[in-house]
Amino acid sequence: MYLTVNRLERYIRAVTEKYPDVWKTLAAFWMRKGKNGFPNWPGWCFVPLAASSAIISRETNISGPLPLDKLADISIIGGLGAWRLTKGIYRFHPDIFNAVWKTPLEGKMPVELLYRLPQWCVYIEAPGKEVIGKAIHGFFAFLEYDLETGHAELRFLIDLCEGRLVPLVLHLSSENLVECIDHTLAYTRKQLEKVGMSMELALSVAEKFCPLTSLDVNGFQPLISSMLYLCSENAEVRNPRNASETPGKPALKRTKKGTRLFPAGAVTFWELGYRTGEEIRRLRQGEGRSQGDSTHKSPSPHIRRAHWHSFWTGPRKGPRKLILRWLPPIAVGVRQEE
pLDDT in tens, 99-149: 889 888 877 788 888 998 999 999 999 999 988 778 999 999 999 999 999
Q: Is residue 280 predicted with pLDDT exceeding 90?
A: no
Q: Are strands 88-92 and 121-125 parallel, antiparallel or unpaired?
A: parallel
Q: What is the DSSP string of 40-88?
A: ---TT-SS-HHHHHHHHHHHHT--SSPPHHHHHHHHHHHHHHHHTTT-E
Backbone dihedral region of 150: left (phi > 0), alpha (psi from -120 to 50 degrees) or beta? Answer: left
Q: What is the DSSP letter of 114?
A: G
Residue 301 has pLDDT above 80, yes or no: no
pLDDT value of position 70: 81
CB of 56 within 8 A of CB of 19?
A: yes
Mean pLDDT score, 200-226: 62
What pLDDT shows up at residue 104? 84
Helix, strand, coil percentages, rounded to 5, for the chain: 40, 25, 40
**Predicted local distance difference test score (pLDDT) of residue 332:** 52
Q: What is the dihedral of CA 75, 81, 85, 90, to 10 degrees?
A: 30
Q: What pLDDT shows up at residue 27?
A: 92
Q: Is the pLDDT of residue 198 over 60?
A: no
Q: Minimal CA–CA distance to 280: which of 222, 221, 338? A: 338
* Cα distances (angstroms) measured from residue 132 to each of 90, 92, 337: 21, 21, 42
**40 has pLDDT over 60:** yes
Confidence band of 211 (pLDDT split at 50, 70, 90): very low
**Residue 98: left (phi > 0), alpha (psi -120 to 50), or beta?**
alpha
88-92 vs 268-272, strand pairing mode: parallel
pLDDT at residue number 338: 42
